[in-house]
Amino acid sequence: MTNSISDFDKADLLFVIGSNTTECHPIIGRFIRQAVKFKETKLIVADPRNIELARVADIHLRHKPGTDVALINAMMNVIIKENLQDQEFIDKRTEGYDELVKTVNNYDTERATEITGVPQDEINAAARLFAEADSAIVTYSMGITQHITGTDNVKSLANIVMLTGNIGREGTGLSPLRGQNNVQGACDMGALPNVYPGYQNVDNSEIQKKFESAWGCKLSAKPGLTTTMMTDAMHEGRIKAMFVVGENPLMSEPHLNHARKAMERLAFLVVQDIFPTETSLMADVILPAAVFAEKDGTYTNTERRIQKLRKAIDPPAEAKSDWEIINMLAERLGHTFGFKSTAEIMDEIASLTPSYGGISHNRLDTGGLQWPCPNRDHPGTPFLHKDLFTRGKGKFHAVEYKSPAESTSEEFPLILTTGRMLEHWHTGSMSRRSDVLDALQPNGMIDIHPDDALKLGITDGDIVAVSSARGRIKTRAHITDKASPGVAYMAFHWSEAPANILTNPALDPFAKIPEYKVSAVKAELLVMDKERQDNQ
Amino acid sequence: MIKTDDASAEEVSTTITLTIDGREIETRDGATVLEAALASGIIIPTLCHDPDLRPYGACRLCVVEIEGMRGLVPSCTTLAREGMIIQTNTANVKKSRRITMELIVANHPADCLTCAKNQDCRLQHFASYLGVDQEHCDRLRKSTQVLPVDRRHPAFDFDPNKCILCAKCVRACHEVTCAAVIDLSYRGYDAKISTFGDKSWIEANCRSCGDCVDRCPTGALAPKNEMKGDRSVKTVCPYCGVGCSLYLGIRDNQIVNIKGDKKSPVNKGGLCVKGRFGFDFVKHPERLTRPLIRKKDVGRDVKIDRSNYRDFFREATWEEALELVADNLAACKEKEGPDSIGVLSSAKFTNEENYVVQKFARAVIGTNNIDHCARL
Ligand code: SF4
Ligand code: SF4
Ligand code: SF4
């Protein structure tokens, strides 16, 4: 995020879009609720589902999944038409405004209503409320990014933030909430196919030279493959061996059947993990790793804060920290890293990563530090883009609305969106093994709106078969008006009913994120589904 | 995030001076008398005060005498004023506190030794601090109603017999969590903490954050599976990207309790259900403890699951397992080139681990085929 968690308390308005914050980032969710309750902070929520925050919002925009660009363009259309933009900010700090105006001119509220399903007066009201706030924060999460238009969605949000001058000051900014505990850090550390640590491009020859001399070896300038592209490459035999550490792609990838077949073709698969998972059980070798409480190191949270993890207990039997395992393996392959502690690793990171240049373990004992932190005396950076954007002037990127990759049909009349629930996390390999969490939420289910349930003859608690063009699963129906008519919802934590059997692997062309949030499916009573299959 | 007094909390700059027990004290304008005293190290016993919650004035233990005001005044709900002269330890104050405490103790079950909050209980602490007369208590003791303990929540129990109606739990749920699941219902002798319509907490949409349990000054709300640790280690929650700071209580190489870090700028002591109650996966019997090698002739398409995997894998030493991995990766690199190998790192890993994994892919294997599930 460009700002800090403490900024939620300082804004006059919060605009939450595509984030079920109280379930997926509960502590930030409660800070938002506190601000609304005690500070009279205004709240706009845009979400197809009737999520908890929507119920305390001033305005809830219930747009159809995948229509975010149209919705934001229409809000900007209203702001510009009514001359509510921050012209001084636009003139001084941005470029590309004229193109933006041209594009959003085509998104009057009438057209937007047609696309998004949100009534015109609600779009008008939200636009005015947003523009009139002195300081506003836009918060989003995977509901924005997990679309084929994910990159466009983010650009739209950046547009509306710049249009109203809501960046670079306390209580303003664009706040993506990162899903897993250290997604931010994994990206910062260059666990990405195109960049070294600190987002330094692998195809930049100067950067390449810097890392070659630091690591004492030749390096490749050819950007590598992303997760989903690797799956295709395995399928086509271009990737023959995989080394998977701490991930369970056979639960988290879209269109799981495809991912499983791809992995079956590998000549060699090593998985390093803490539990037997769907993925590790396909491996040739499984290496036992340590959990968070058994190791030292750092995580970087969603507000770029680097915090220290401390070893509290020993790992069971012969399990080892992941960094120790990789160290040993590198040595066997003729490359000695020679790290004796995680503090030493951080020192090497700091020497090669400008934004982490001032980080060392002994500076992190209280509260942690927010990057950029370029040197040992730097106090860290609570909010970015104070006077300048990274590229100088902020650029408006005019974006056009594109419909989701898949739409409903006679055969698959429902849209399915996926996500997480409060009590569980990701592929469930940790949370499903917690007695308390599993007792609180033992069953997966599909949320279906009462209107759809009536049409389909389904009642609450029925076992239903849910299928898409890619696969079919069984789960329990939960009839609730949290779902919108025509839009069903499932969490993806359940290996008994993996939602990702159904999801669409269509990718955002830039970020390569699959469109988890829009798949066309059908749901029917299991008995009826059985009968039809028997008759075929 | 919690505001005591909206306008004044903003302006920290103005200070006022007052006198407590003959000591001149500076405090922030807008502070209560209790806050002013506590901030300068003067102890005033209280059971219902919590710096994160709005003042409530329920327990009456914090009474003081203030010049110019009649009788005893609760210090937690009285704003400090310039020039105030306050006494916290007069004979009247002491007598009032003792009686108040004796009334509470007389109505409280005396099973301290078996209570989950033993030694961690504010009531116990202040009862012994103030001194309670056994005879007085016995005289005051009524036939206490024995109410059933609510054990329906998987993470904590509620024993209404131990509840002193300080409403810390209610205020936490309304002001901190903002879930507003529990409330004080009924009046007088029947007053109690309950959910709307007396449903179980889960049915009442409790978010299981445990904030109420954490703040309860007695054993009324107590976690089911906690033990006292012999040391505590500060670390970070491994679940979501908020990155809440917390303390793990440790004994015998096990996590036995979890506390939010009140000083953390991230979570200010708060935790959600996963961070507070979700760490028992660490000692789950399914943890992998030794390297495993797939047995010969077990194809990758064989259906293996958590229940039967031991039939298809055999345990190996690190030596053997690493040898096998190194040989295969080296052979693949040799024969098909480095880009025929892919590496997936993890958004659950530490920064240091991610750094080492990408360095391994790039420097040792020689490929940029390195990614993690950030997108998923
Ligand atoms: S656990 Fe949290 S949500 Fe549930 S009653 Fe207590 S404070 Fe409220
Ligand atoms: S349950 Fe605990 S916190 Fe709640 S009113 Fe009773 S004693 Fe106070
Ligand atoms: S305690 Fe909850 S909100 Fe905090 S980091 Fe853990 S999972 Fe996230």
- DSSP one-letter string for B77-100: SSB--TT-EEESS-HHHHHHHHHH
Distance from CA of B260 to the nearest CA of A (A): 11
User: What percentage of chain A reaches a pLDDT higher than 90?
Assistant: 11
Range with lowest mean pLDDT among A34-48, A107-121, B40-54, B134-148: B134-148
CA distance B1 to B172: 12
Q: Is the CB of B246 under 6 A from ligand 3?
A: no
Range with lowest mean pLDDT among A263-272, A379-388, B42-51, B63-72: A379-388
What pLDDT, on the 0 to 100 scale, is given for residue A74?
A: 87
CA distance A428 to B119: 36
Residue A110 lies in a domain: yes
The pLDDT tens digits for B234-244 are 999 988 888 99
- Does the pLDDT value for residue A207 go beyond 90? no
For chain A, what is the domain count?
3
Distance A58 CA to ligand 1 centre (A): 24
Cβ contact, residue pair A422, B273, below 8 Å: yes
Q: Determine the atom of ligand 3 nearest the C-alpha atom of B276.
A: 1
The mean of the pLDDT values for chain B is 85
For ligand 2, mutation pick of B153, B165, B181, B213 (most atoms within 8 Å of CB): B165
Residue A383 lies in a domain: no
Residue A476 lies in a domain: yes
Distance from CA of B258 to the nearest CA of A (A): 12
CA distance B338 to B347: 24
CA distance A126 to A61: 8
CA distance A94 to B344: 38
- Region for residue A334 given its phi and psi (left: phi exceeds 0; alpha: psi -120 to 50; beta: otherwise): left
For residue A299, give every residue at least 6 positions away whose Cβ sits within 8 Å of its Cβ, in sequence order, or none. Answer: A181, A182, A185, A306, A307, A309, B236, B238, B243, B350, B351
What pLDDT, on the 0 to 100 scale, is given for residue A426?
A: 66
Q: Which of A238, A260, A335, A437 to mutate to test the interface with B (most CBs of B within 10 A)?
A: A437
Nearest residue of A to residue B282, measured between CA atoms: A291
What pLDDT, on the 0 to 100 scale, is given for residue A496?
A: 66
What pLDDT, on the 0 to 100 scale, is given for residue A285?
A: 93
Residues 120-179 (A) with a CB less than 8 A from some CB of B: 145-146, 177-179
Domain boundary among A177, A202, A227: A177
- If pLDDT is split at 50, 70 and 90, which confidence band does B250 have? very high
Q: Which residue has the higher pLDDT, A288 or A144?
A: A288
- If pLDDT is split at 50, 70 and 90, which confidence band does B10 have? very low
- Does the pLDDT value for residue A506 go beyond 80? no
Closest residue by CA, ligand 3 atom 4 = B244
- Does the pLDDT value for residue A394 go beyond 60? yes
What pLDDT, on the 0 to 100 scale, is given for residue B9?
A: 44
* pTM (2 d.p.): 0.84
Interval A268-276 mean pLDDT: 90
Residue A252 lies in a domain: yes
For ligand 3, mutation pick of B214, B235, B240 (most atoms within 8 Å of CB): B240
User: What percentage of chain B reaches a pLDDT higher than 90?
Assistant: 20
Domain match, A301 and A437 both: no
Residue A19 lies in a domain: yes
Distance from CA of A208 to the nearest CA of B (A): 11
- Does the pLDDT value for residue A532 go beyond 60? no
Of B175, B287, B340, the CB nearest to A316: B287
Q: Determine the atom of ligand 2 nearest the C-alpha atom of B212.
A: 3
User: What percentage of chain A reaches a pLDDT higher than 70?
Assistant: 92
CA distance B293 to B328: 13
The pLDDT tens digits for A4-15 are 877 888 889 999
Does residue A218 belong to the interface with chain B, where contact is any CB pair within 8 Å? yes
What pLDDT, on the 0 to 100 scale, is given for residue B247?
A: 94
CB A469 within 8 A of CB A501: no
Q: Which residue has the higher pLDDT, A523 or B153?
A: B153
- Does the pLDDT value for residue A110 go beyond 90? no
CA distance A407 to A65: 10
Q: Which of A270, A314, A333, A443 to mutate to test the interface with B (most CBs of B within 10 A)?
A: A333
Q: In chain B, what are the domains?
A: 15-106 (3.10.20.740), 112-223 (3.30.70.20), 231-281 (2.20.25.90)
The pLDDT tens digits for A242-256 are 999 877 766 666 667
Backbone angles phi, psi at B19, to 5 degrees: -120, 125
Q: Is the CB of B181 under 6 A from ligand 1?
A: yes
Helix A342-352 and helix B351-359, axial crossing angle in degrees, nearest 10? 70
Domain range enclosing A321: 183-370
What pLDDT, on the 0 to 100 scale, is given for residue A424?
A: 67
For ligand 2, mutation pick of B105, B126, B218 (most atoms within 8 Å of CB): B218
What pLDDT, on the 0 to 100 scale, is given for residue B169?
A: 93
Give the DSSP letter of residue B174: I
- Does the pLDDT value for residue A162 go beyond 70? yes
- If pLDDT is split at 50, 70 and 90, which confidence band does B324 have? very high
- Does the pLDDT value for residue B12 go beyond 60? no
Range with lowest mean pLDDT among A11-15, A64-68, A294-298, B360-364: A64-68
The CATH number that applies at residue A221 is 3.40.50.740
What pLDDT, on the 0 to 100 scale, is given for residue B7?
A: 41
- Does the pLDDT value for residue A172 go beyond 60? yes
Q: Which of B10, B181, B209, B236 to mutate to test the interface with A (most CBs of A within 10 A)?
A: B236
Q: Is the CB of B313 under 6 A from ligand 3?
A: no
Q: Which residue, A136, A36, A10, A8, is CA-closest to A84?
A: A136
Of A183, A285, A299, the CB nearest to B293: A285
Three-class SS state of A478 = strand
- Does the pLDDT value for residue A434 go beyond 50? yes
Closest residue by CA, ligand 2 atom 2 = B216
- Region for residue B175 given its phi and psi (left: phi exceeds 0; alpha: psi -120 to 50; beta: otherwise): alpha
Contacts of A190 in chain B (CB under 8 A): 354-355, 358, 370
Backbone angles phi, psi at B75, to 5 degrees: -75, -20
The mean of the pLDDT values for chain A is 83
Residue A401's alpha-carbon distances to A513, B118, B131, in angstroms, are: 18, 61, 72
Cβ contact, residue pair B240, A282, below 8 Å: no
Q: How far is CA B200 from the centre of its chain?
A: 21
Domain match, A113 and A30 both: yes
Domain match, A493 and A507 both: yes
Q: Which-ligand-closest: CA of B178?
A: 1
Domain boundary among A317, A344, A370: A370
CA distance A369 to A144: 28
Domain match, A420 and A318 both: no
- If pLDDT is split at 50, 70 and 90, which confidence band does A159 have? confident
Domain match, A115 and A150 both: yes
The pLDDT tens digits for A464-500 are 888 777 788 888 888 888 888 888 888 777 666 677 7
Interval A26-35 mean pLDDT: 91
What pLDDT, on the 0 to 100 scale, is given for residue B142?
A: 66
Range with lowest mean pLDDT among A18-32, A90-104, A260-274, A316-330: A90-104
Distance B237 CA to ligand 3 centre (A): 6
- Does the pLDDT value for residue B4 go beyond 60? no
CA distance A525 to A474: 10
Tokens matching residue B214: 């954490």
What pLDDT, on the 0 to 100 scale, is given for residue A13?
A: 93
- If pLDDT is split at 50, 70 and 90, which confidence band does B8 have? very low
CB A211 within 8 A of CB A219: yes
CB B173 within 8 A of CB B238: no
Backbone angles phi, psi at B85, to 5 degrees: -120, 120
What pLDDT, on the 0 to 100 scale, is given for residue A16?
A: 92
Q: Which residue has the higher pLDDT, A425 or B259?
A: B259
Residue A221 lies in a domain: yes
- Region for residue A198 given its phi and psi (left: phi exceeds 0; alpha: psi -120 to 50; beta: otherwise): left
Domain match, A324 and A191 both: yes
Q: Strand pairing of A136-140 and B85-87?
A: unpaired
Of B278, B318, B353, the CB nearest to A431: B278
Domain match, A146 and A220 both: no
Residue A462's alpha-carbon distances to A467, A476, A523, in angstroms, are: 16, 6, 11
Q: Which residue, B146, B250, B26, is CA-closest to A293?
A: B250
The pLDDT tens digits for B76-113 are 888 888 888 888 888 888 888 888 888 888 788 878 88
User: What percentage of chain B reaches a pLDDT higher than 70?
Assistant: 93
Domain match, A451 and A326 both: no
Residue A118's alpha-carbon distances to A50, A110, A161, A213, in angstroms, are: 14, 10, 21, 56
CA distance B195 to B203: 9
Contacts of A336 in chain B (CB under 8 A): none
Residue A395 lies in a domain: no
- Does the pLDDT value for residue B132 go beyond 90? no
Three-class SS state of A247 = coil
The CATH number that applies at residue A84 is 3.40.228.10
Domain match, A161 and A228 both: no
Domain boundary among A125, A152, A177: A177
What pLDDT, on the 0 to 100 scale, is given for residue B325?
A: 92
Distance B59 CA to ligand 2 centre (A): 11
Q: Which-ligand-closest: CA of B261?
A: 3
- If pLDDT is split at 50, 70 and 90, which confidence band does B170 have? very high
Domain match, A146 and A215 both: no
Interval B21-43 mean pLDDT: 88
Domain match, A55 and A169 both: yes
Q: Which-ligand-closest: CA of B274?
A: 3
Radius of gyration of chain A (CA): 24
Domain match, A15 and A30 both: yes
Interval A19-48 mean pLDDT: 90
CA distance B82 to B102: 34
Interval B186-196 mean pLDDT: 77
Which amino acid does the sequence have at A500?
N
CB B238 within 8 A of CB B275: no
- Does the pLDDT value for residue B3 go beyond 50? no
Distance from CA of B145 to the nearest CA of A (A): 31
What pLDDT, on the 0 to 100 scale, is given for residue A336?
A: 85
CA distance A186 to A182: 6
- Does the pLDDT value for residue A210 go beyond 50? yes
- Does the pLDDT value for residue B70 go beyond 70? yes
- Does the pLDDT value for residue A1 go beyond 80? no
CA distance B312 to B295: 6
Q: Which-ligand-closest: CA of B211?
A: 1
Tokens matching residue A238: 């271009």
Kindly provide the b/e burial profile for residues A388-423, where b requires at least 16 CB atoms within 10 angstroms of the residue's own CB.
ebeeeebbbebbebeebbbebeeebebbbbbbbbbb
What pLDDT, on the 0 to 100 scale, is given for residue B173?
A: 92
Residue corresponding to tokens 């800070």: A31
Give the DSSP letter of residue A225: -
Task: End-to-end CA distance of chain A: give it in Å, rounded.
Answer: 53
Which amino acid does the sequence have at A174?
L
Q: Which residue has the higher pLDDT, A299 or B5?
A: A299
How many CB atoms sit inside 10 A of residue A40's CB?
9
Residue A166 lies in a domain: yes
